[in-house]
Structure formats: structure tokens, C-alpha cells
Amino acid sequence: MGNKLSGRFVAGMELADALRVAESVNKQGMFVTLDSLGESVSSAAEAHKAADVYHELLDSIRERHLDANISVKLTQMGLALDPELAEAIATNLTEHAKYTGNFVRIDMEDSPLTQVTLDIVRRVNERPDLRGAIGIVIQAYLYRSQADIEQLIADGIRVRLCKGAYKEPAEVAFPRKADVDANYIKLSQTLLESPIYHGLATHDEAMIAAAKSFAKKRDITPSRFEFQMLYGVRRDLQRKLVAEGYNVRVYIPFGREWYPYFMRRLAERPANVLFIAKNMLRK
């Protein structure tokens, strides 16, 4: 039942499912980032177990010559229990990624965790041997994001820009979609103009059109940035961008803890509820 429900947005329950899907997405000319699903853990042992899956992923990516990196949530690495534990795990993963020629993207969670997530990523990146092997996510709905992006660029840290997926109060985030969209365009321009390779994560055609036209105007070639989209969302648009010569990375989640991820995807687009329900009724 869970499998059938989540299948639209989740590659499968096992690591092998994720690798199989990653290979097929690579064959379609797109890069991948892999997310082993799971959020807040309740013990250090659980955090280490979650990290082990990512270590296995890094080895498998290298063995299979996949064009894939990993996306990691710090709460799954024990952030809520002990920030030092999460930092130690993030450091280990980044060491492993560096050693295998790979990259760790730290996902961004809700706003009480923004500062601590930034601090951890910055400290890991400050280690000269790890520089460039860790990146972060910035959410356009937060008022603070322009300042954060400027600092991250100064620190040489790669950013994935998204609109933001959590319910946030008006004290910290734009309540109106129009303001979030305007900020997304503004922030994406700051990123595009920087000398660092960043990711623009969105399925919004208006955001994508704005980025393409800004890049063309400023002679920023498509090889200097990438678009990122979620597995199962706007596959038509993913293929179109590839055909036009843009870099596209697909975010592929997998694992048994699919429920919160799945619910965020449904909340983003109520039509998805109907879509999933219809598929459930089909044989």
C-alpha cells in the first residue's frame, strides 16, 4: 500500500531501487541527487545508522559510475539531539564525498534550524581539505535569504535555491506567493552572477524563464549552473530543459520513511491528491 501510494514521488523502499532509478535518470541525460528519507531521529545510534546508508550510497555511486551526489537532512543526523553529533556526521560524510570525488548537499529544514545549519556547513567548508565538497539550500520565502546568499558566495559555498517547503510564520517568511516568487528571481540572479556553480530548484516555468533570460543577457553559459527538480514532478519540463542544453539534476528520494516527504509534495499541489487517488483505483 505504502509502495503504491508513494511510488509517484519516491524511487522505492530500498537503496537498490534508488540506484536503479538514478541510472535510468542518468541515461536520460540528467544528474541526480539521492535522498535517503527520514527526519528527526531519537538516538545517536539511529543517526549513525542513517549516516551509514549515505556512506553506502557514496561507495555505490562510485562503483557504478553514476553522476549523482547526496542530499542530507541534519535532523536525520541527530541535529535536534546534539548539534555536535550532526556536525561530526556531516564532516565524516563530506570527507568520504571528497575522497570519492563527490559532493554533499545539506537540505534546509524549518526556520528554527536555519542558523545552526548554516553554521555547520560553513565550519565544514572552512576545512581546507573539504572546501567545495559541501553545499547548502537557501529558501526564497525567508526574509534573511539575500544576506545569507551574499555571505555564502563570499565563503565559496554552493547553493541550491528553492522557494521553501515548510509552514513558516510571517515574522520570518513572506506570506504571499507573489513576494516569494519575486524574491526567488532576485536571489537566483545574485547566484547566477557569482563565479560559483549553483542549483536553481524549481518546477515553476516563470522562475525558469526568468533565469534563462537573465543568463542569456549576462552571457552566463548554461554550463555554469543547473536546474533541479523533484523525481516525478514535471518530467516534461525536465526533458525539455535537457533538450535545450541546460544541466538538470533530479532529486530522488527513497526509503521506508516516505510519509512526511510525500505529504509535503501533496500539500504543494492539491491536484496531486486527485492524481494519486485516480492511480490507486487503476489496476
User: Which residues, other chains included, contact 57 with Cβ-Cβ below 8 Å and sequence gap of 6+?
Assistant: 15, 18, 34, 36, 70
Stretch that binds ligand FDA, among 38-46, 144-152, 210-218, 227-235 (CB under 6 A): 227-235
Which residue of the set 35, 107, 148, 181 is catalytic?
Answer: 107
Say whether residue 137 binds ligand FDA (CB under 6 A).
yes
Does the protein bind ligand FDA through residue 46 (CB under 6 A)? Answer: no
Tell me the C-alpha distance between 35 and 230, whole Å. Answer: 11
Catalytic residue among 35, 105, 148, 160: 160
Coil, helix or strand for 66?
coil
Choose, by CB under 6 A, the member of 68, 229, 248, 252 that binds ligand FDA: 229
What lies within 8 Å, CB to CB, of 2 at 6+ separation is 13, 256, 258, 259
Residue 203 binds to ligand FDA (criterion: CB under 6 A): yes
Catalytic residue check, 160 = yes
Give the residue with the Cβ less far from ligand FDA, 30 or 89: 30
> Cα separation of 46 and 36, whole Å?
13
Q: Does 158 bind ligand FDA (CB under 6 A)?
A: no
What residue has cell string 528554527?
112
CB 189 within 8 A of CB 214: yes
CB of 163 to ligand FDA, least distance (A): 4
Q: Which of 86, 201, 210, 252 binds ligand FDA (CB under 6 A)?
A: 201
Kindly state whether residue 36 participates in binding ligand FDA, applying the rule CB under 6 A. no
- 93-132 binders of ligand FDA (CB under 6 A): 107-108
Query: Between the CA of residue 191 and those of 145, 155, 156, 196, 198, what are the distances in Å?
Result: 12, 13, 11, 8, 7
Q: Minimum distance from CB of 193 to ligand FDA (Å)?
A: 20
- Quote the strand ranges of 190-255, DSSP E: 198-201, 225-230, 247-254
Whether 107 is a known active-site residue: answer: yes
Q: Are strands 225-230 and 198-201 parallel, antiparallel or unpaired?
A: parallel
Asked whether 190 and 218 are in contact (CB, 8 A), the reply is no
Among 13, 15, 192, 233, binds ligand FDA (CB under 6 A): 233
Question: How near is the Cβ of 196 to ligand FDA at its closest, in Å?
Answer: 17
Residue numbers annotated as active site: 107, 160
Q: Contact residues for ligand FDA (CB under 6 A)? A: 107-108, 137, 139, 162-166, 201-204, 228-230, 233-234, 251, 265, 268-269, 272
